[in-house]
Amino acid sequence: MKSLDKLDYKILNILQEDNTIAIKDLAERIGLSFTPTYERVKSLKNNGIIKKYVAIVDREKVGYELVAYCNVTIKNKSVEILRDFEEKLNKCPEIVEVVSVSGVYDYMIKIVTKNIKEYNDFVEKTFTNYPHIGDYHSSIVLCTVKEETKIFL
């Protein structure tokens, strides 16, 4: 894979703002013709730099009012136990992000539900029945100050 140049970064910045832009319009904005612009975007996709295109949904407008971050510690850690836990988390549609972290907790999990009852049901079903969880701590989001998907390039 070739290293990225200024035009690649321009393309990435534009696509992070609007991934529905036509290649013709993108080419115009970066000062190239259609074909080399198309080839650059294709290369960015093929090399995994552009992972996927998505629509960002306003969760509250579709009825999902609660966001929580749950910090989890795993007791009796082993690679098998950690992978099993991660597989279990990947099957939960309420979970939108899982990160393995350093510090007191092993994982930070972002969970989105319609309301507090649904969140409580989720926690009881997912965490209280998993034998390797040592501790978990929930933080309910009161308001979101900044939410961004764009990486500054």
Domain that holds residue 33: 6-46
Q: Are residues 37 and 64 in the same domain?
A: no
Tens digit of each residue's pLDDT (9 = 90 or more) over 39-54: 999 999 999 999 999 9
pLDDT at 18: 95
Specify if 97 maps to a domain: yes
Tens digit of each residue's pLDDT (9 = 90 or more) over 7-36: 999 999 999 999 999 999 999 999 999 999
User: Which CATH number goes with the domain that contains 10?
Assistant: 1.10.10.10
Helix axes 23-30 and 6-17, enclosed angle (nearest 10): 130
User: Distance between CA atoms of 133 and 21, rounded to whole angstroms?
Assistant: 45
Specify if 135 maps to a domain: yes
Specify if 52 maps to a domain: no
User: What's the predicted TM-score (pTM) here?
Assistant: 0.87
